[in-house]
Structure formats: C-alpha cells, structure tokens
Amino acid sequence: MTIGSSDNYPSSVAEDAATTTPTADNPWTARFPNPPDLCFDYRALVEQDNGIARATERQHRICIIGAGVTGLTAARELYRCGFTQITLIEQSRRIGGRHLTVLGSQHPAQTHTPFEMGAMRMPFFNRAGESPTEGRSLMAYYAKAFDLAFSDFANPGSQWVSSTGIYLREGSMGGGTIAQMLVWKNQDGRTPPPGEELQKVYAKWKTFADRMTRHVAAVYASDKWEAMWAAIVDKYESVSFRNLVSMPALQAWDERSPGDFGGLGMSAQESAIFYAIGIGDGSWGAFYDVCALYPLRTAIFGFSSHLQLIHGRVDTQGNPLASPCLHSEAVHDSAGLGFDRPRYIGLASLNECLFFMAIEETGKSVYEHSRERSNGFLTDSSVTRLRKLANCKTRVYFNWKHSQPAHTQEHFDDFDSVIMTLPSWLIETRIKLEHFTQQMLPYETINAYKTAHWETSCKVYAPLKKSFLSSPGKIPQAIVTDSFIHDVYAYRYNDHYSDDCILLSYTWEDDATKLGLLSDKELVAQCVEELDRILMNCANIQERISPYIGIDQAVVQRWITDKNALGCARLYRPGTYYDAVGLMRYNRDFAHLSGLYFSGESFSVDAGWTEPCFRGAVDAVIHICNKTAATFNGGFTMNDYPHYQLRP
C-alpha cells in the first residue's frame, strides 16, 4: 500500500508548475517535490566536501542509542565532522532497524533474492526526466555515494507491473453476474483503472490531488510558502482522512483561502472502495483514522513519486561489488560480540554502507573507528536508564549481553550528548529518564511521544519461480483485494537470481493485527490457499498460483511483536499534529540544556519512510555542531536553518 502511487506524480507537476528555485542568496532552500516542513535542502549541506561542519571539540562524548538508519547516519556524519568519541549502542545483533532484508534463497552457492520485510520502496524526490540520484534528497545522495543499484518499484496500478488484478466483493464489482477480476493494464502510466465504479473514485482523487499539487508547487520555496502551509495545516490538522474523503469537493480554489482545497466528495460506497483498494493501487484504509495531513503530505510532496526498489551495492548480474567485510566469516563489535555480517544485498546495503564504507574525510569507516575503542560500538546491549548528572553530563546505563539473561551485566558510561533514535514506545517501556528537569524535558514533550500511535504491519514473503514472470499467464503480477491478504506483489530483482519473489500478503493496522491469530506456518498456508481460491473463483482467470510459490521457504514479519520495534510506522491522529511538530522542535529549543537529542521517524511527521530518518539524524548533528561551536561548511549558519512552526 502506498498513497497516490504514480510514476510521474507529483514530479511531472513540479516540472510544469514550480516557479521558484534556490538562488545564490538562499542556497539552502529546498525545491519541490520535497517535504513541506522544513523547506530546507539537507542534501546541499551533507554533500559538501568535509560534510556538515568541522568539529572544534573533537573529544565531545556522544552516545547514539539505536543502530538503525537514523543512528548510523548520525554516527557517519558526526565522524565526518571530526568528532572522535562516538558510542553506538544497539539492542539487537544486527544493524539496520526496520530496514530488514532477509535473503530468500536457501541455496548458499547462489546469489540470493532478497525479501524486504520492512521498508521496501524508496522515493528519491527527483523530478520527471531526472535520474533518481539527482533528486534533492538524502536518499538520492547516499544512493549515489554508495553506488547502490535500483529499479522502478513494481507498485500496483503503475506501469512497472504487467497488470494489476482488482478483486473486490467476491468479484462482483463491475456489475456482472459471474465473479470477475478487474485487470488494470497501465503501460503508459496514464491509463485509469477499469470499471465505472473505480473510475469515479479515481477521478475524485485525481481532481483533488491535481489541484492541490499545482498550487503547492507554484508557491513552494517562495516567500509565500510558510503562510500557505500554515493555512493548510489550520484547515486539516483536526480532520481525519476518513472525513476528508467524504468532505464536499471544491469547484475551484480561492486564493483568499489558500489552505482550503476542500475534500474528495466521495459517497459512502465510493469511500468503502477507496478504503479497501484505494484507486486500485492497494488499501488506503490504514490511514482513514489518522490526521488528514499525513496522507496529503505523502501524496502531494513526493513520497509516492518515482518509487525505487533497492537492489544493493551490486553489479548488473546482482553480485555484490567489492566492499568492506563482504567476505568476512564474522564481524565483531567493540566488545568482541559477533553480529550479522554485511552482504550488500537489498535495502540493508544502505545501512551496511553507512557503517562499513570508508569516509573520504577520515580515511576510515565508522565501523573501523569504533573497533579501535572499547565502547565504540556495542551490540546486544539494551539501554535501561538515562540519568542527568550535576556536572551536566548524562549517564547511560545499559545491560550488556541483553539476550542472555544468565550472563547479562549492567554497565554505564557518561556522555556530553545523547542521541535517542528508538521507536517512542521502546523509550517509554524500556528506558527510565532520571533527573531531567522540566526546563530540560517538558512534560508536553514526554506526553507527545508517550501518546504516539504506532501502526502494526505484517508481511508474508516467499520465493517465486522464474516462469511466473518470464511466461506470464492470466494471473496479474500485482493483486489488490478486500480479502484478508489485501495486497500481493510479485517482482524480479535480477535475471541471474535463482528465484523471483512474491509478497503474498501486505497488511496494516487491524488487518495486520487480526492475523496474530495464526502461526507463521498457518498464515503462509492460508495466504496461498486464499489466493488460489480467489483466482479460481474468477471466470477470467481460472488458474492457481500455488505451483509457482516456494511455500516452505516463506518468511513472515510482524512488526508489532518485534521487541526491537513494537510497531512499523509512527502516525498521528487528528488534533495531534502540533504535538508531533513539537517533538521535531525539541532539539533546537531544549537539547542545548538537556544534552538529549530526539532523532528519527519517532520524532517526525512523515512516518514509514527513510527520508525523515536521514533528516532527523542530520538535524541532531547540526544542533550538536552548533552547541560545540563547530565551524559549519559552505557558509551555512543557524540563521539559514528554518524553524518548525507551532500552533499560532
């Protein structure tokens, strides 16, 4: 499921409508498409020679809690700046967090087809006709810097699948007396979905989204943008997406009410279709009861445009390029504990590159530098307490060998700055914050992350025989349905891999939670059985998919039961948008007093994506550099860094 998926949208609108670009007087301004706040080009700051800044207090002691993409990015960029006393603490025995790539093939001699059990489709924020790596995003920057291979993601409803099958209400949508699967072929990227009912839903969404995108693109990054975004927030921050869908549509936008774009104007029946299968691109139901600003941000500002599948740091045959520790039998942390070695396959390669690839400015990787120090990188270590000391330092307590209760040992160390990158539910359930005053850590901040809403999600992956995509029959490559399996994706990484892969079921929220009734083995069997049932029930298909699927090699990931995550994506409900923005402002307003920096998706308003993780990491680095009087590169000053706007 992704919102408003279309290869050229909104990037094509940006090409046509955007009138403002950064000038010599304002080189740090972002361009459209990009997130609406902050309107800041993080890539321009990070991609400079020598990175963000030159550290003056190189011995400033920094602890980073969590070795997901946020923590790894923060560590890399701090080390680029010249900070040398960085400690990275990770609870699990692997790096990457919710970037979880599992190798699907069971044949050790063959290159493995990856299963992306977490994040899987990356927006680069590039415009139409522009290479993804030229997009103005940190994802684009790192993909280019690390030579990551990628391809257009096979999203339902896009031109990157041969066809999308739509099965709603037991095949009755379309009005026939015989069960049918609607088949959507969209090779040109502009063909609407089939069926009168679905086309009405599609038209109402497209009318709304086109109008909003064109007006936003024309103002983005100009001196009018902050006022326009504030007006949009004022209009929609207390509105659920469910209400936006049924809210009356406007006939025309009025510049005297710049934030009001009306609603989608759908009937109850149209809304039910939209909930179940979107515009034929997958269910949007997981977002129906969250703040309307979230799906608007996702659809309008580039998160759904030119989505890419990351193959890894690999050659044209899918084999890993020469890379650090690639052929190591094992890798070890600073205390000698082994953790998952890098393979440079799939999205996990991004995290492995951040950690293991050498940095030009230092001549070493973060991993190499960490191994030189006894506390540089610690795995299997669960942080339990942060205690603010009278000398302004923060004492970090952690249980070493966390996964081995009989051998667990409590340790502590003192730091000048601590970057917290954990999912907010883990902060509340695992970590005590002691002796932080209200001036350092206001209750409003604590309440904002304690009351955050985390989505559940479940994925069921399996190997897929090459013949399914090489010699397609009647079965569509992607399927969206209101059945319990919901969304099905089949796609190929490389002709040379032994198998392709199929995401048998991709579910969110209640649809994922209800699957907790079944064991992994039962869930896999029921998904395959249900797919066969649907396909055989459709008069225009009548073909089983089970013969193509490696059922015994299927893998299930349930994010709500993952003890290192407790959820897949952090969202915010109507009326809580400013709480989320307040968390993003914390680093600027309070971190210089507390020494505590909140970073990553937990403290963003763009849940479920990698870009806010990058941006949160860089935000923490900027503020630590500012606190320690580092010399920023490129003439950047804190006056160039815009402010998050709270409720007027």
The CATH number of the domain holding residue 494 is 3.90.660.10
- State in Å, rounded, how far the first CA of the chain is from the last one: 34
pLDDT tens digits, 362-402:
999 999 999 999 999 999 999 999 999 999 999 999 999 99
Say whether both 256 and 192 belong to one domain: yes
CA distance 597 to 619: 9
Q: Among 163, 178, 176, which residue's Cα sits nearest to residue 280? A: 163
Per cent of the chain over pLDDT 70 is 95
Given a cut of 90, whether residue 445 has pLDDT beyond it is yes
Separation in Å, CA 302 to CA 14, 129, 139 = 9, 15, 13
pLDDT for residue 135: 96
- Which of 22-36, 252-266, 394-408 is predicted with the least confidence, judged by mean pLDDT? 22-36
CA distance 357 to 364: 8
Q: Where does the pLDDT of residue 104 fall: very low under 50, low under 70, confident under 90, or very high at 90 and above? A: confident
pLDDT for residue 12: 64
pLDDT for residue 24: 46
Token duo for residue 438:
């209200």
Structural contact between residues 97 and 66, judged by C-beta atoms closer than 8 angstroms: yes
Say whether both 490 and 439 belong to one domain: no
Say whether both 53 and 200 belong to one domain: no
Indicate the average pLDDT of the chain: 93
Say whether both 401 and 365 belong to one domain: yes
DSSP 445-467: HHHHHHT-EEE-EEEEEEEE-HH
Say whether both 573 and 562 belong to one domain: no
Check the CA dihedral 40-42-43-47 and report its sign: positive
In a domain, 144, yes or no: no
Which whole number is the average pLDDT over 532-560?
Answer: 96
- CATH number of the domain within which 40 lies: 3.50.50.60
Given a cut of 50, whether residue 23 has pLDDT beyond it is no
Given a cut of 80, whether residue 110 has pLDDT beyond it is no
pTM metric for this prediction: 0.96
In a domain, 500, yes or no: yes
Token duo for residue 61:
């002691």
Given a cut of 60, whether residue 7 has pLDDT beyond it is no
Which whole number is the average pLDDT over 350-369?
Answer: 97
pLDDT tens digits, 126-181:
998 899 999 999 999 999 999 999 999 999 999 999 999 999 999 998 777 899 99
In a domain, 24, yes or no: no
Print burial letters for 595-624: b (CB count within 10 Å at least 16), e (below 16).
bbbbbbbbbbbbbbbbbbbbbbbbbbbbbb
Which whole number is the average pLDDT over 312-336?
Answer: 96
Say whether both 465 and 555 belong to one domain: yes
Given a cut of 60, whether residue 21 has pLDDT beyond it is no
pLDDT tens digits, 475-501:
999 999 999 999 999 999 999 998 999
Strand 555-558 relative to strand 114-116, pairing: unpaired
In a domain, 104, yes or no: no
Distant-in-sequence, close-in-space partners of 494: CB < 8 Å, separation ≥ 6: 111, 311, 314, 317, 318
Give kind and range of the element (H or E) at residue 583.
helix 577-589
Given a cut of 50, whether residue 57 has pLDDT beyond it is yes
Separation in Å, CA 541 to CA 300, 529, 536 = 35, 16, 7
Domain final residue, candidates 536, 566, 596? 566
Structural contact between residues 423 and 73, judged by C-beta atoms closer than 8 angstroms: no
Say whether both 582 and 635 belong to one domain: yes
Burial class of residue 439, CB neighbours in 10 A (0-12, 13-18, 19+): exposed
Structural contact between residues 541 and 477, judged by C-beta atoms closer than 8 angstroms: no
Given a cut of 80, whether residue 268 has pLDDT beyond it is yes
DSSP 303-318: TTBS-EEEEESB-TTS
pLDDT for residue 283: 84
pLDDT for residue 277: 84
Given a cut of 80, whether residue 1 has pLDDT beyond it is no
Token duo for residue 427:
């902060």
CA distance 411 to 331: 23
Say whether both 505 and 557 belong to one domain: yes
pLDDT for residue 14: 57
Say whether both 558 and 572 belong to one domain: no
In a domain, 8, yes or no: no
Domain final residue, candidates 504, 533, 566? 566
In a domain, 27, yes or no: no
Strand 86-89 relative to strand 377-378, pairing: parallel
Q: How many domains does one find in the chain? A: 3
Other C-beta atoms within 10 Å of 174: how many? Answer: 18
Structural contact between residues 321 and 328, judged by C-beta atoms closer than 8 angstroms: no
Q: Where does the pLDDT of residue 25 fall: very low under 50, low under 70, confident under 90, or very high at 90 and above? A: low
- Which of 186-195, 334-343, 454-463 is predicted with the least confidence, judged by mean pLDDT? 186-195
DSSP 501-524: EEEEEEEEHHHHHGGGGS-HHHHH
Coil vs helix vs strand at 44? helix
Parent domain of 442? 33-98+315-454+568-640
Structural contact between residues 373 and 334, judged by C-beta atoms closer than 8 angstroms: yes
Domain final residue, candidates 566, 593, 610? 566
Q: Among 450, 569, 425, which residue's Cα sits nearest to residue 508? A: 569
pLDDT for residue 437: 97
In a domain, 634, yes or no: yes
In a domain, 142, yes or no: no
pLDDT tens digits, 568-596:
999 999 999 999 999 999 999 999 999 99
Structural contact between residues 398 and 445, judged by C-beta atoms closer than 8 angstroms: no
Structural contact between residues 213 and 253, judged by C-beta atoms closer than 8 angstroms: no
Say whether both 542 and 576 belong to one domain: no
Q: Where does the pLDDT of residue 199 fall: very low under 50, low under 70, confident under 90, or very high at 90 and above? A: very high
Say whether both 554 and 575 belong to one domain: no
Q: Where does the pLDDT of residue 16 fall: very low under 50, low under 70, confident under 90, or very high at 90 and above? A: low
pLDDT tens digits, 234-260:
999 999 999 999 999 999 999 999 999
pLDDT for residue 214: 93
Orientation of helix 348-356 relative to helix 138-145, angle to 10°: 70
Strand 149-152 relative to strand 114-116, pairing: unpaired
Given a cut of 90, whether residue 26 has pLDDT beyond it is no
Structural contact between residues 29 and 221, judged by C-beta atoms closer than 8 angstroms: yes
Say whether both 205 and 248 belong to one domain: yes
